[in-house]
Structure 1
Amino acid sequence: MLAIRRSDERGHANHGWLDSFHSFSFADYFDDQHVHYGALRVLNDDRIAGGKGFGAHGHRDMEIVTYVLSGALAHRDSMGNGSTIRPGDVQRMSAGTGVMHSEFNASPDEEAHLLQIWLLPSARGGAPGYEEKRFDDADKRGRLRLIASPDGRDGSVTVQADASIHAALIDGDERADYALATGRRAYVHVARGALEVNGQRLNAGDAAMIEAEAAVTLAHGDQAEVLLFDVA
């Protein structure tokens, strides 16, 4: 079974410096049909104006993954970590028992475009942690590259959640197939471009929720960048 949720069905908040689309209930947006999908709790498509960002604020009991599409994001946290992530970088922060952090557009004038992902942890009260890995375009070209997993396999960042995240770049004749294990579901988010997911055409911002299927096929892409979430 495949269900499609179009880009314009998402929640939306424009704060001037931040233009954000919410795939799941977040802040003032609530949709009881879209609170979470397995361990996937938040998928925000954020555009942050130059020089702007989120001041120091706290999180706990959440796995937070940041995926940059364009621009650069400067991160600082109470664990002593500080870095600037750019397209190709994947950042994981485990909030655990509590952590403070800030995120700002690293450019004074260019927009930063990113996906902010929250995963429900497998257990509450874990130790806070931080990790960052790089995945170049060549790693994702015409294939699904594992970027986050519970066991950190294949060089992915390690998340304390029952979820794996894959990223792919699909264009032209390129095709990627993903086998779904029994009892697992897939959430496919098109970050930009367009492509077909199991024969259904999706555009930027669209998502496909797939369950009781043996496989997911990504094909006929038009400069598509895609994230696939494997969840229970």
Structure 2
Amino acid sequence: MIIRRANNLGKAHSDTLTLRCHFAFADYQDSEYVHEGRLRAINLGSMRPNSSYRLGPEKNLDIVTWLQTGTLWTKADNFSSNHLYSGGLQLINAGTGVCDMEWHSGADGASFIQFWFMADTEGGLPEQEIRAAFPKPEDGSFRIIASGFPEDDPEELGIIEDNAPVKLSARSRLLYADIPAGEGAAYQTTPDRDLYIVVVSGEMILNGENLSCGDGVMLPQTQNVTIIANCETVILLCDVSV
């Protein structure tokens, strides 16, 4: 178990944007933390009011943006423009290449977490998916919000759901949990998988270690994980191939 404390994360920034980086990114370079399995980047972003963040060109990546607070207006190449509100999710499958991606904050600014997954196969047409905030699980369990596994896609089972996970081109998962104080959440995956957990808010215990808002923890080649919340705690969990 490798812990990345919030106050020791890397930092990349401009006049209007600050990124706290769990892995090497932009002007933050770190040979010790380049990526974890097929997980290329996790960036915690903070944008000033009425400011913008631009990326590109990128290809063969799944870029997932989860909005924590504020509002974002999104625009990328020939995709439709959309507004994201707190809890909303945007996926860009870069495929053969996306030249320009933009995020513009509203009057209250915005904070977001962005995950970059390396695609398992190269090519394919770029795609975009948008989701409003996912319903909060009543029992504090994990909910899959992005997945490259067909069995996680309700459409593959002939079911249509407004809150279905966005579809990754990588065989990876991104999961969300809002755990009540004093309760726990467990997750089990298959062998030869790496897990990475980000504490969005609150405080949790994992293997006897306390983790707080902004902290991250890598769990290489881990099949089972159980988290106990000291107070109401929101976490995001990545499940990726080694």
Normalised to the residue count of structure 2, the TM-score between the two structures is 0.88
Measured in 2, the distance between the counterparts of 1:43 and 1:131 equals 19
State the SS of the aligned residue for 2:232: strand
Which consecutive residues of structure 2, in runs of 5 or more, have no partner in the other structure? 155-163
Q: Aligned partners of 1:88, 1:147: CA distance in 2, in Å?
A: 11
Determine the structure 2 residue equivalent to 1:75: 74
- What is the deviation of 1:137? 4.6
Partners in 1 of 2:196 and 2:44 — Cα distance? 15
Q: Secondary structure at the match of 2:35?
A: coil
What residue in structure 2 maps to residue 224 of structure 1? 233
Q: Matched residue pairs, number?
A: 229
Per the TM alignment, residue 57 of structure 1 is displaced from its structure 2 partner at its CA by 4.1
2:120 pairs with 116, 119, 122, which one? 122
Aligned to 2:166: 157
Match in the other structure for 1:26? 25
**2:86: which partner in 1?**
87
The partner residue of 1:148 within 146, 152, 170 is: 146
Deviation at 1:178, TM superposition (A): 0.6
Q: Give the secondary-structure state (helix, strand or coil) at the position aligned to 1:79.
A: coil
2-structure distance, mates of 1:37, 1:182: 16
Q: Equivalent pairs: percent with the same residue?
A: 28
> Which residue is 2:158 aligned to?
none
**1:46 aligns to what?**
45
1:178 equivalent in structure 2: 187
**Letter of the 2:143 counterpart:** R
Q: 1:97 to 1:142 in 2, by over 3 A?
A: same
Which is richer in strand?
A: 1
TM-aligned CA deviation for residue 141 of structure 1: 5.8
Q: Which amino acid aligns with 2:136?
A: A
State how 1:1-20 maps to structure 2 within 5 Å: 2-20=1-19
Could you tell me how far apart the structure 2 residues matched to 1:79 and 1:13 are?
A: 28
State the match for 1:64 in structure 2: 63
Does the CA contact (< 8 Å) of 1:140 and 1:167 recur in 2?
A: no
Contact persistence 2:147–2:172 (CA under 8 A) = yes
Amino acid at match of 1:48: M
CA distance in 2, matches of 1:196, 1:116: 24
> Which residue identity lines up with residue 79 of structure 2 in the other structure?
G
User: Which amino acid counterpart does residue 9 of structure 1 have in structure 2?
Assistant: N
1:199 & 1:220 partners in 2: Cα distance?
12
CA contact (8 A) 1:61 1:125 kept: yes
Question: Counterpart of 2:71 in structure 1: which amino acid?
Answer: A
Equivalent-residue separation in structure 1 for 2:131 and 2:190 (angstroms):
26
Please tell me whether the aligned partners of residues 79 and 128 of structure 2 are also in contact (alpha carbons under 8 angstroms). no
How far off is 1:189 after superposition?
Answer: 0.9
* Structure 1: segments with no counterpart, 5+ residues: none
Give 1:34 deviation, angstroms: 0.8
Q: Distance in 1 between matches of 2:144 and 2:72?
A: 22
Q: Is the 8 A contact 1:88 1:137 kept in 2?
A: no
